[in-house]
Amino acid sequence: MVELLSWGRYPRQPQHPHAVFWADEISHVLGKIVETNKTSLIYGMGRSYGDSCLAVSNQVVTTQGMDRILAADWETGVIFAQAGLSFAELIQITLPRGWFLPVTPGTKYVSLGGAVANDVHGKNHHVMGTFGRHILRLFLYRSDEGIVECSRHIRSDLFVATIGGLGLSGVIVAVEFQLRPIETSRINQTSIRFGGLTEFFQLTASHDHTHEYTVAWIDCLATGQNAGRGHYIMGNHAKADIAHTHTQLTLAPHKRMKIPFDPPFSLINTLSLRAFNTLYYHKQQQKQISRCVSYDPFFYPLDSLKHWNRIYGHAGFQQYQCVIPQRDGQTAIADIMQEIAKSGSGSFLAVLKQCGDIISPGLLSFPMHGVSLALDFPQHDQKNTQLFNRLDRLVHEVGGRLYPAKDAHMSAEHFQQAYPQWQQIEAMRDPRLFSKFWQRVTQ
């Protein structure tokens, strides 16, 4: 029997899948599950890290078969597609025609419905906001209403409850959204090596307004005079007259290595992590390097390694992603980094990002004007709990919040303080949809 897990594989609570391929099948499949299990949940590509994609009943409706383009206007870049279509499949269709996703997270293996349910953001949040800002309308299946169309003007209450609503307001059936035009498939990228957080904030102040995409990798274990060091990476879509003519709108080759099996223990430990971080930081010898690169390694560096989540072993891992309000950004991030460095744990890919002030339309959308930090931690129950408690305290003292799509530990108290509109979601929740995350943070 096929069993599904979340991407972090923690908590390890296997889900039994029930597939749908067309909208008119949802009522029957969902009804059969609910007959014996009371509730269910929708499962897309399984890229939510924690328990927001896990049903309380362990019985999920899978939508990967709902992967069709329903309509597209290649003059305006408006596209209408079923919710199970992945970003990877969308790029294959749109990029050769000169259109790209308006917003994309760090993996293209997410479904369109999942992108809506988690209101994903990316390296261009400071200029484009979240994915939800580019949605024109949605079609939902609700167990109490059937198929419902919603937009900013039609059932707007349901529209904003669905964007970032963690898949609880109904089954997202189809999405219409606006693509962004591109002239080439390449990115003019510049990487600057920096020595600490003060320099990072100087770089964001100097370059964010001239570059659509900005992000930083940081050495999460560096201490003393090296604390907060890293690489600041910025980029813009290359213009047609700059890129080589033979690569103007070319899809990246499909090359993927893979982790073939689960190692018995995590390959990420203090020793390997410290060695990787030191080597990676010094890999770039010059202070600044500029080059023209393909879109694929720029946006999706980890997608080249299939099943990379297996490097954390059978126990899995948790991602800790927080956002800190702008006024306290530098001080709070320094405190958080200090706690992580002291713990000796952390991630080979620690990401720091300046978020903009564009307000997300969704009631539970994660980004706010400030600084976000994301790191992966191998699952060690006691060690993670102690560290996360200290980090949570730092985040909530300054009014920050954690990312539900990545979370597997947040307390109900902290969630409800950080997301005061959660009761509106609960009031509009489809009674047949219920996740382990929602149970944990609302009951």
For residue 154, name the pLDDT band (cuts at 50, 70, 90).
very high
Average the pLDDT over each of 152-156, 219-223, 271-275 and give the range with the smallest value.
271-275
Domains and CATH numbers, the chain: 69-182 (3.30.465.10), 186-409 (3.30.70.2520)
pLDDT digits (tens, 9 = 90+) for 393-411: 999 999 999 999 999 999 9
pTM above 0.85, yes or no: yes
The stretch 244-250 carries a mean pLDDT of 72
State yes or no: pLDDT of 288 exceeds 70: yes
Lookup result for tokens 């079609």: 139
The stretch 2-10 carries a mean pLDDT of 92
Q: DSSP secondary structure string, 176-245?
A: EEE-EE-S-SEEEEEEEEESSHHHHHHHHHHHTTT-SEEEEEE-TT--GGGTT-EEEEEEEEPPTTTS-G
CA distance 67 to 413: 38
State yes or no: pLDDT of 197 exceeds 80: yes
CA distance 36 to 14: 18
pLDDT digits (tens, 9 = 90+) for 177-192: 999 999 999 999 999 9
| Average pLDDT along the chain | 93
Q: What size, in residues, is the chain?
A: 443
Looking at residue 253, its pLDDT comes to: 83
pLDDT digits (tens, 9 = 90+) for 317-368: 999 999 999 999 999 999 999 998 888 777 777 899 999 999 999 999 999 9
State yes or no: pLDDT of 246 exceeds 80: no
Looking at residue 391, its pLDDT comes to: 97
State yes or no: pLDDT of 245 exceeds 80: no
CB atoms within 10 A of CB 400: 26
Token pair listed for 366: 């994660």
